[in-house]
Amino acid sequence: MAVLTLAPLAAFTDNYIWMLHDGSQALVVDPGEAAPVRAALDAAGLRLAGILVTHHHGDHVGGLLDLQPRLQGQVWGPAREVMPLPFVPCKAGDSVELLGQRFRVLDIPGHTAGHIAFHLAEPSDGSAPILFCGDTLFSGGCGRIFEGTPAQMWDSLQSLAALPGNTRVCCAHEYTLSNLRFAQVIEPGNAELRDYRSWCEAQRADGQPTLPSSIAQELAINPFLRCAQPAVRAAATQHQALAEDADGVSVFATLRQWKNDFR
Ligand code: ZN
Ligand code: FE
């Protein structure tokens, strides 16, 4: 059976357009621009069989119209958002069949009101599960809350955190190093975080992506998934006085606000 290849295509200054292909057919996720996609298709002689879109922001949909002539399939996108061209509307529980794979759709509002993710639980080549999560979960961080509430974003992140630990986390931005700088302020004593940051710094120095990450990796180092950890809770409380019995959402909201202002 065909081996699936997963690759991040660099776009703009720090976006990744994820490509998955089987040697003849490809899908791409969140094509903010068309040129990197065309170049990758041409380099490997691939047909563009479909496009997945997680949310409506320009850096995720800007290349759709330019790619339309190359597309030999459909565009799947968030049912509750507006997009620049016709698409198959997707919501929680739907599945998308592409390249002989079945992707399950998750609703993960917060960054935008209708943000969705695509989860491939069982790639046909037996490789680890794949998650395309747009701008919701980043390595070491999470997306800004533009259209939703902290409670929504928290629920969305919790649902991603519950996926199998070996799930490959394919986020749409290379924000890892700046996220980890913040994460270390929150948890200076986290040894795994320290090691991971060194590895990521070496990757970037080498011109390599830090992604995909994994759910297990993120559970160990990402403060936004670690709001129940005493050290994370203590850091949040020190930044902004929280009630003794403050819940996870309050800790999360404090961290998110802190990170917004963090330089
Ligand atoms: Zn976005
Ligand atoms: Fe983005």
Instruction: Let me know: does 256 contact 153? Beta carbons within 8 Å.
Output: yes
pLDDT on residue 243: 87
pLDDT on residue 222: 99
- Contacting residues for 245 by C-beta, under 8 A, at least 6 apart: none
CA dihedral 101, 136, 235, 204 (to 10 degrees): 80
Catalytic residue check, 111: yes
Catalytic residue check, 59: yes
Instruction: Mark which of 137, 153, 171 sits at the end of a domain.
Output: 171
Q: Are residues 229 and 118 in the same domain?
A: no
pLDDT on residue 15: 98
Distance 4 CA to ligand 2 centre (A): 25
* CATH number of the domain encompassing residue 53: 3.60.15.10
Q: Are residues 144 and 210 in the same domain?
A: no
Q: Are residues 163 and 227 in the same domain?
A: no
Q: Are residues 24 and 95 in the same domain?
A: yes
pLDDT on residue 54: 99
- Of all ligands present, the nearest one to the C-alpha of 172 is 2
pLDDT on residue 263: 83
Q: What is the pLDDT along the chain (263 residues), one digit of tens a residue?
A: 789 999 999 999 999 999 999 999 999 999 999 999 999 999 999 999 999 999 999 999 999 999 999 999 999 999 999 999 999 999 999 999 999 999 999 999 999 999 999 999 999 999 999 999 999 999 999 999 999 999 999 999 999 999 999 999 999 999 999 999 999 999 999 999 999 999 999 999 999 999 999 999 999 999 999 999 999 999 999 999 888 888 999 999 999 999 999 98
Catalytic residue check, 55: yes
Instruction: Mark which of 117, 139, 171 sits at the end of a domain.
Output: 171
pLDDT tens across 165-204, in order?
A: 999 999 999 999 999 999 999 999 999 999 999 999 999 9
- Contacting residues for 118 by C-beta, under 8 A, at least 6 apart: 29, 52, 54, 76, 96, 103, 104, 105, 106, 131, 132
pLDDT on residue 245: 86
Q: Are residues 231 and 106 in the same domain?
A: no
d(CA 97, CA 103): 6
The one catalytic residue in 21, 60, 115, 119 is: 60
Catalytic residue check, 94: no
Distance 236 CA to ligand 2 centre (A): 26
Q: Are residues 96 and 205 in the same domain?
A: no
Q: What is the 3-state secondary structure (H, E, C) of 114-140?
A: CCEEEEECCCCCCCCCEEEEECCEECC
Q: Report residue 72: phi and psi, to 5°.
A: -110, 50
145 CB neighbour count, 10 Å cutoff = 20
Q: Are residues 126 and 196 in the same domain?
A: no
Distance 64 CA to ligand 2 centre (A): 15
Q: Are residues 161 and 185 in the same domain?
A: no
Distance 32 CA to ligand 2 centre (A): 9
- Of all ligands present, the nearest one to the C-alpha of 173 is 2
Sign for the pseudo-dihedral over CA of 45, 49, 52, 56 = positive
pLDDT on residue 244: 84
Task: Tell me the pairing of strands 47-52 and 25-29.
Answer: parallel
Q: Are residues 28 and 143 in the same domain?
A: yes
Q: Are residues 131 and 188 in the same domain?
A: no
The total number of structural domains in the chain stands at 2
pLDDT on residue 175: 98
Per-chain residues with Cβ under 5 A from ion ligand 1 = 57, 135
Catalytic residue check, 119: no
Instruction: Mark which of 171, 188, 203 sits at the end of a domain.
Output: 171
Domain of residue 38 covers 5-171
Q: Are residues 127 and 141 in the same domain?
A: yes
Burial of 58 (C-beta count, 10 Å sphere; 0-12/13-18/19+): exposed
Q: Are residues 142 and 19 in the same domain?
A: yes
